[in-house]
Amino acid sequence: MTIDLPLIFAALMGVAILAYVVLDGYDLGVGMLMLWDSEREEHDVMIASIGPFWDANETWLVLGVGLLLVAFPVAHGVVLGALYLPVAAMLVGLMARGVAFELRIKAEGWHRELWNWLFSAGSYLASFSQGLMLGRFITGFEPGFLPWGFAALTGVALCGGYMLLGATWLVLRTEGALREKSAVWARWGLAWVALAVALVSIATPLASETVRERWFDFPRTLYLMILPALTLAAGAFTWVSLKKSDTLPFAGAVTIYVLAFAGLAYSLFPYVVMDSLTIWDAAAHPSALNFMLVGTAIVLPFLLGYTFYAYRIFRGKVKGGSPYG
pLDDT in tens, 120-131: 999 999 999 999
Between the CA of residue 316 and those of 242, 246, 247, 254, what are the distances in Å? Answer: 17, 10, 10, 18
Residue range 136-181, pLDDT digits in tens = 888 888 888 888 888 898 899 899 999 999 999 999 998 888 889 9
DSSP state string for 149-197: HHHHHHHHHHHHHHHHHHHHHHHHH--THHHHHHHHHHHHHHHHHHHHH
DSSP state string for 267-293: HHTTEEETTTEEHHHH---HHHHHHHH
| 163 vs 113, residue with greater confidence | 163
- Please return the burial class of 201, using the count of CB atoms within 10 Å of its CB with bins 0-12, 13-18 and 19+: middle
**Cα 115 from Cα 94, distance rounded (Å):** 14
Question: What is the average pLDDT across 300-322?
Answer: 82
Give the pLDDT band of residue 321 (cuts 50, 70, 90).
Answer: low
pTM greater than 0.85 = yes
Residue range 218-246, pLDDT digits in tens = 776 777 788 888 988 999 999 999 988 89
**Cα 28 from Cα 209, distance rounded (Å):** 32
